[in-house]
């Protein structure tokens, strides 16, 4: 049985064009301006077809924290958000820091995950031999500053060795870049305050900038692929920009999250710990710098850092409330809403959520609508409205900072390897 998407416009080679798409099995078989006949047809009149989004940064929490999320609910949320591939972070229980844990997680994910998936290994000060042994590893996560899970790697000699191995084996090192010492000092200073807005003062711009500077200086010598996760400050971004121009700068990339693009410190007042996340959401000047960075390509890609916790956990006082914001269902609608408001081009969005993630993380045959590529697609109603409602979300963390907001740009169907959802 084959399937045709007819009468729609598809995003091909940098622009929207009238195109009928024939899908055979898991692949895109043919793209044509003229009529295509197939066993099954989906009429895409008035719709646009984009390559499925590739979210290179999610926490689906399994094994160990299934009460927060699991691979079924996480991937269900993903496909409702037009995301066809996810890459899961290693701060689970056990931590994905050994080959054994990696293989066990792969088995579990295969069984429950509806989307394509990749799995990060955690880099520790003492697990390089495990990382070296791992097969088909796309990426490792280096927690230079600690966050949920208290995993830490900040010994320079160990990082130098890791980067050399990354260069040799070709995997990407994604870095959580915040400086432990600065954060600890700030914590002491603000110990008495319970206001969620102090999060920005504890995990401040200096903490991010110092960490980024240090890891990038090691990378400059080693020449490995490095990816700065969830960039959150103007200084941090300027350091990445500078690094991209120097030796081995072509191996430097970075991502921004929807929450750092669409929220700023003025939102703590209303949303409190619901928007507590690491690195922190900072002032409006940072948000603007990040948005501009996405527009002018200083920032390579958008990833959700989907980090669900239970509502009960999040509602605790500042010190107890865990950091993290869910984002699978809202990333694409938020970005499409920004396109509708003429704040950014559709071209830039497709590059940032599909094309660049595929290129940086080595997802061959994904990220583009091309003959022979995987049929991972999303059908969008570009002017359709999507109201974010906590009680309609598929993530187990049934809350969103955008609860109640109506966005223009609606995900209608998601197609993964030729299989239609929605
Ligand atoms: O806010 C965050 N939550 N930042 C992280 O780095 C980790 C994540 C989580 O796993 O909860
Ligand atoms: Zn994360």
Query: Ligand 1 atom 4: the closest Cα is on which residue?
Result: 278
- Give the per-residue pLDDT at 1: 87
- CA angle centred on 19, ends 15 and 21, rounded to 5°: 120
- Give the per-residue pLDDT at 148: 85
Instruction: Categorize the per-residue pLDDT at 77 as very low, low, confident or very high, splitting at 50, 70 and 90.
Output: very high
Q: Which of the 8 DSSP states describes residue 281? A: P
Instruction: Categorize the per-residue pLDDT at 422 as very low, low, confident or very high, splitting at 50, 70 and 90.
Output: confident
Domain-located, residue 91 = yes
39 is catalytic: no
Confidence check: pLDDT of 213 > 90: yes
Q: For a substitution probing ligand 1, which of 57, 148, 199 has the most ligand atoms within 8 Å of its CB?
A: 148
Quote the number of domains for the chain.
1
Nearest ligand atom owner, CA of 281: 1
Instruction: Categorize the per-residue pLDDT at 73 as very low, low, confident or very high, splitting at 50, 70 and 90.
Output: very high
Domain-located, residue 237 = yes
Query: Ligand 1 atom 10: the closest Cα is on which residue?
Result: 148
Span 91-116, pLDDT tens digits: 999 999 999 999 999 999 999 999 99
- Give the per-residue pLDDT at 236: 98
- Give the per-residue pLDDT at 149: 84
Span 318-335, pLDDT tens digits: 999 999 999 999 999 999
Domain-located, residue 29 = no
Nearest ligand atom owner, CA of 255: 2
Confidence check: pLDDT of 150 > 90: no
Q: Which of the 8 DSSP states describes residue 390? A: G
Ligand 1 atom closest to the CA of 229, numbered from 1? 6
Span 19-66, pLDDT tens digits: 999 999 999 999 999 999 999 999 999 999 999 999 999 999 999 999
Domain-located, residue 45 = no
CA distance 25 to 392: 32
Confidence check: pLDDT of 265 > 90: yes
- Give the per-residue pLDDT at 167: 98
Residue 48 CA to ligand 2 center (angstroms) comes to 30
Span 48-60, pLDDT tens digits: 999 999 999 999 9
**For the domain that residue 249 is a member of, what is the CATH number?**
3.20.20.140
Instruction: Categorize the per-residue pLDDT at 178 as very low, low, confident or very high, splitting at 50, 70 and 90.
Output: very high
Residue 322 CA to ligand 2 center (angstroms) comes to 12
Find, among 381, 369, 375, the residue nearest to 412 by Cα: 381
CA distance 37 to 5: 10
Catalytic residue among 55, 88, 305, 376: 305
Confidence check: pLDDT of 6 > 90: yes
As a whole number, mean pLDDT of residues 305-320 equals: 97
Instruction: Categorize the per-residue pLDDT at 192 as very low, low, confident or very high, splitting at 50, 70 and 90.
Output: confident
Domain-located, residue 1 = no
Contacts of 390 (CB under 8 A, 6+ apart): 398, 399, 400, 403
Domain-located, residue 405 = no
CA distance 128 to 159: 10
Span 277-288, pLDDT tens digits: 999 999 999 999
Domain-located, residue 19 = no
The reported pTM is: 0.98
Query: Ligand 1 atom 2: the closest Cα is on which residue?
Result: 324
As a whole number, mean pLDDT of residues 243-251 equals: 98
Query: Ligand 1 atom 3: the closest Cα is on which residue?
Result: 324
Q: Would you say 226 and 173 are in contact if contact means Cβ atoms under 8 Å apart?
A: yes
Residue 149 CA to ligand 2 center (angstroms) comes to 11
Ligand 1 atom closest to the CA of 91, numbered from 1? 10
Span 267-276, pLDDT tens digits: 999 999 999 9
Query: Ligand 1 atom 5: the closest Cα is on which residue?
Result: 278
**Measuring from each residue's beta carbon to the nearest atom of ligand 1, which residues come in under 6 Å?**
59, 91, 147-148, 176, 277-278, 307, 322-324
Residue 69 CA to ligand 1 center (angstroms) comes to 13
Domain-located, residue 253 = yes
Q: Would you say 321 and 271 are in contact if contact means Cβ atoms under 8 Å apart?
A: no
Find the domain containing 273 and state its range. 52-360
Ligand 1 atom closest to the CA of 308, numbered from 1? 11
Structure tokens that stand for 249 in this block: 């700068």
Span 338-396, pLDDT tens digits: 999 999 999 999 999 999 999 999 999 999 999 999 999 999 999 999 999 999 999 99
- Give the per-residue pLDDT at 107: 98
- Give the per-residue pLDDT at 244: 98
Structure tokens that stand for 87 in this block: 């890459």
Ligand 1 atom closest to the CA of 143, numbered from 1? 6
CA distance 35 to 29: 14
Nearest ligand atom owner, CA of 304: 2
CA distance 157 to 382: 50
Residue 34 CA to ligand 1 center (angstroms) comes to 48
């Amino acid at each position: 049985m084959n399937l045709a998407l007819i009468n729609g416009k598809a995003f091909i080679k940098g622009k929207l064009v009238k195109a009928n798409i024939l899908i055979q099995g898991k692949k895109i078989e043919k793209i044509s301006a003229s009529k295509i006949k197939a066993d099954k047809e989906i009429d895409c009149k008035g719709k646009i077809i984009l390559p499925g989004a590739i979210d290179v940064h999610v926490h689906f929490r399994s094994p160990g924290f299934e009460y927060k999320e699991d691979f079924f609910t996480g991937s269900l949320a993903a496909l409702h958000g037009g995301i066809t591939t996810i890459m899961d972070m290693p701060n689970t229980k056990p931590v994905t820091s050994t080959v054994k844990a990696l293989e066990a997680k792969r088995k579990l994910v295969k069984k429950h995950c509806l989307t394509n998936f990749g799995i990060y290994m955690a880099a520790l000060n003492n697990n390089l031999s495990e990382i070296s042994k791992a097969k088909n590893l796309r990426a490792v996560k280096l927690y230079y500053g600690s966050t949920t899970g208290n995993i830490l790697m900040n010994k320079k000699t160990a990082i130098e060795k890791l980067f050399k191995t990354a260069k040799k084996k070709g995997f990407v090192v994604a870095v959580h870049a915040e400086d432990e010492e600065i954060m600890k000092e700030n914590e002491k200073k603000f110990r008495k305050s319970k206001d969620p807005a102090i999060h920005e003062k504890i995990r401040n711009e200096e903490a991010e900038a110092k960490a980024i500077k240090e890891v990038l200086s090691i990378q400059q010598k080693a020449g490995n692929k490095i990816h700065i996760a969830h960039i959150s400050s103007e200084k941090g971004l300027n350091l990445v920009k500078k690094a991209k121009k120097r030796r081995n700068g072509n191996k430097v990339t970075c991502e921004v999250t929807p929450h750092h693009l669409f929220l700023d410190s003025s939102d703590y007042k209303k949303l409190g710990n619901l928007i507590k996340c690491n690195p922190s959401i900072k002032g409006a000047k940072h948000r603007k710098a990040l948005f501009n960075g996405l527009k002018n390509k200083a920032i390579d890609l958008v990833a959700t850092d989907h980090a669900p916790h239970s509502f009960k956990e999040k509602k605790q006082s500042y010190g107890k409330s865990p950091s993290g914001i869910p984002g699978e269902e809202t990333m694409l609608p938020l970005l499409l809403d920004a396109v509708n408001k003429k704040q950014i081009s559709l071209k830039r969005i497709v590059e940032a959520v599909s094309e660049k993630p595929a290129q940086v993380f080595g997802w061959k045959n994904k990220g583009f609508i091309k003959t022979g590529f995987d049929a991972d697609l999303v059908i969008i109603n570009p002017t359709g409205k999507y109201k974010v409602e906590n009680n309609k979300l598929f993530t187990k963390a049934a809350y969103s900072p955008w609860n109640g907001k109506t966005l223009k740009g609606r995900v209608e169907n998601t197609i993964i390897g030729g299989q239609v959802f929605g």
